[in-house]
C-alpha cells in the first residue's frame, strides 16, 4: 500500500512534514512545527492522549513509519503472550505504545516529497500478487 500511495502526490507524508518545517524561521521553530504536524495526524494530544485514529491518514511514509511499526509491536506482544501461555497485558501495552507514539511525534525525520513509480504499474503488481488469494476467499 505504501508503494502505491507513493505514486500520488496527495498521499505523501513528506510534503506535510517539509511544509511544516518550512514555516519555522529558527531550528527551534522548525522542530516545534514538525512536532505539531506529526501530532495533528496521529495523537492530537500528548503522550496520554485518549484519542486514537482521530485523524488517521493513509499516507506513504506514515503507513510504514508509524502504523506498520505499531501493528508489529501489537502482534509481537500477542505472540509473546501466546508463547508464555498468559493473557496479554493490554493496559501495559497501551502504556508502552502511547510512549512510543509520543516519541514518534517528537522525532525529526524527513520523508520523500516527490512521487515515485506509476500507479497503474503498482496496481498491476498488487493485483498479480494477491488475485489468487482474493478469488480463493470468494469460494
- Dihedral in degrees, nearest 10, Cα atoms 80, 82, 83, 88: 40
Total-model pTM: 0.88
Structure confidence by residue, pLDDT tens digits, 64-96: 999 999 999 999 999 999 999 999 999 999 999
Q: Residue 109: its pLDDT value, please? A: 95
Where is pLDDT greater, at 61 or 137?
A: 61
Question: Is 137 within a domain?
Answer: no
Structure confidence by residue, pLDDT tens digits, 15-56: 999 999 999 999 999 999 999 999 999 998 888 888 877 888
Question: Is 6 within a domain?
Answer: no
Question: Rounded CA gap, 103 and 101, in Å?
Answer: 5
Structural domain boundaries enclosing 18? 12-112
- Report how many domains make up the chain: 1
Cell of 83: 508463547
Question: Is 57 within a domain?
Answer: yes
Sign of CA dihedral 111, 117, 119, 122: negative
Amino acid at each position: 500500500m505504501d508503494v502505491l500511495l507513493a505514486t500520488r502526490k496527495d498521499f505523501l507524508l513528506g510534503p506535510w512534514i517539509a511544509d511544516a518545517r518550512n514555516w519555522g524561521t529558527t531550528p527551534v521553530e522548525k522542530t516545534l512545527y514538525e512536532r505539531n504536524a506529526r501530532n495533528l495526524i496521529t495523537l492530537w494530544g500528548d503522550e496520554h492522549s485518549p484519542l486514537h485514529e482521530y485523524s488517521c491518514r493513509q499516507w506513504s511514509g506514515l503507513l510504514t513509519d508509524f502504523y506498520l511499526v505499531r501493528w508489529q509491536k501489537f502482534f509481537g506482544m500477542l505472540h509473546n503472550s501466546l508463547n508464555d501461555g498468559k493473557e496479554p497485558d493490554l493496559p501495559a501495552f497501551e502504556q508502552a505504545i502511547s510512549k512510543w507514539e509520543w516519541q514518534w511525534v517528537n522525532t525529526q525525520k524527513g520523508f520523500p516529497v516527490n512521487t515515485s513509480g506509476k500507479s497503474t504499474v503498482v496496481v498491476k503488481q498488487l493485483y498479480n500478487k494477491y488475485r489468487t488469494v482474493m478469488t480463493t476467499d470468494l469460494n
